[in-house]
Amino acid sequence: MRQDIERILFTEEQLKGRIAELGAQITADYRDRNPIFVGVLKGCFVFMADLLRCVDVYCTMDFMSVSSYGDGVTSTGAVKITKDLSRDIAGRHVIIVEDILDSGITLSYLKKYLSVRNPASISIVTLLDKPSRRRADISADYSGFEVEDAFVVGYGLDYAEEYRNLPYIGILKSEVYSK
């Protein structure tokens, strides 16, 4: 798979270090608030597993699945919930866990969708943020790294469902998706 990667942006070591910092921040902010982490599948799975092991507060977790992409590299703009939460979130402090905040369409939809269930609060933690591509009025409360406008894969992020298992994050060669 390495031959499909143009350039490595974040190594395993860099990811580990930054995620430990995010975990420490969340630990400090959510002490005694018993938050519920809501992972957005499937992209969140590697990040969430590493992040939550750096969070030292009582908490629970749940997952949702949304689709907005198909197999392309740009969002279709239409968000569909394909798996909803398994428990009620009324009165809970919700922390949405995302792999990447790109146009922001997915997360702004999700935030509105969950807010009608009367949680005590909703915040967003994203591993990557691509602010240059933002189309919806939304920002992350906790963000790992800012990335340039390039299509990235690895560490949970996919192209057409592949590359999620790369242990680092890299820019995908454009010839891979223009084939």
3-state secondary structure of 131: helix
Between CA 31 and CA 17 the distance in angstroms is: 22
Q: How many residues bind ligand IMP (CB under 6 A)?
A: 17
- Choice among 29, 56, 88, 102 that is catalytic: 102
Helix (H) or strand (E) holding 125: strand 121-129
Starting at the edge strand that comes first in sequence, how are the strands of the sheet with 121-129 ordered? Answer: 80-83, 60-67, 36-41, 93-101, 121-129, 142-146
Stretch that binds Mg ion, among 40-48, 73-81, 146-154, 163-171 (CB under 5 A): 40-48
Angle, CA of 133, 135 and 136, to the nearest 5°: 130
User: Six-digit token pair at 60?
Assistant: 């629970």
Task: State the nearest-atom distance from the C-beta of 28 to ligand IMP, in Å.
Answer: 26
Binding letters toward ligand IMP, positions 94-133, x by CB under 6 A: ----xxxxxxxxx---------------------------
Which one of 30, 37, 69, 142 is in contact with ligand IMP (CB under 6 A)? 69
Select from ligand IMP, Mg ion, none the partner in contact with residue 64, using the beta carbon and a kind-dependent cut-off of 5 to 8 Å: none
| Residue ranges that bind Mg ion, judged by CB under 5 A | 43, 99
